[in-house]
Structure 1
Amino acid sequence: MDVMNGCCGIGAIVRGFNGDLVCVLSMSAPLISILTLELHAIKKALELALNFSCVQLIVESDSLRSVQLINQDKDIRAFLHVNQVFMNYVSRDANRIAHHLARFSLQCCELSMWVDTGPLGLMDLRHSKSVVKV
């Protein structure tokens, strides 16, 4: 969060089912509540994954409240189930790359996206399932 400039950052990583990096997103957002920002980041990550035709997604967030809200809402759960999207809570340490991307967006103050690659230092992304980290 950059209170002086009135903006926050969002970071998201989308990996394919085999663990390969699909794309990486880093963007600024208006200064809003942390919960709203987390939900906004999840929405952007899902949009990005769906634009790249990713299916059978696991969305990981270190915002327990966001994950609980999404998992408890029947309409959202029905939508996610149809699209094979599963929400999981992970520790902040497990989500450090997304936070690094969010901080990066505060430096460049715009949308940055990498396809099939990522910014230097984030290339060692391996996982066995499709994972969207926000």
Structure 2
Amino acid sequence: DYMNTLPDMNRLGEYYATNEEYIRKYRFTNAFHPFHGFSMMSCGHIAEMNTSAIYIVGAQEPGIARSMGLKTRAAFEEALADAKKKFVGEAPNILALPQTFKLAAVHLCMKDPSQDCMDEYGNHPCCG
């Protein structure tokens, strides 16, 4: 049993990030950057380390989500009821991103914008 978590995959990161053929495809043929998958895994791995459970509601292919260790439910109310029963009790902390995979990327920012990073031109990701 291997290649299931970011540490398992990390040893291949340098190879994919520097493979000339993958880089050429990224630059000239509209392919994902070779390291894209690793960055996606790191987001999931960090979330997995810091949560009791991650629910995907209304997945078209729930088996894929379940194979990644996520919990799937048909409706938000069903997911919330399950989470209350199994993990969080009656006062859960919830982060719901209803349009995450239907619209442009969601940028989560701090309440205090000074705590978010800015690029070298002073542009803040939440301020356009």
TM-score, structure 1 length as denominator? Answer: 0.27
Which of the two has greater strand per residue?
Answer: 1
Structure showing greater Rg: 2
Structure with greater contact order relative to length (CA < 8 Å, sep ≥ 6): 1
Which of the two has greater helix per residue?
Answer: 2
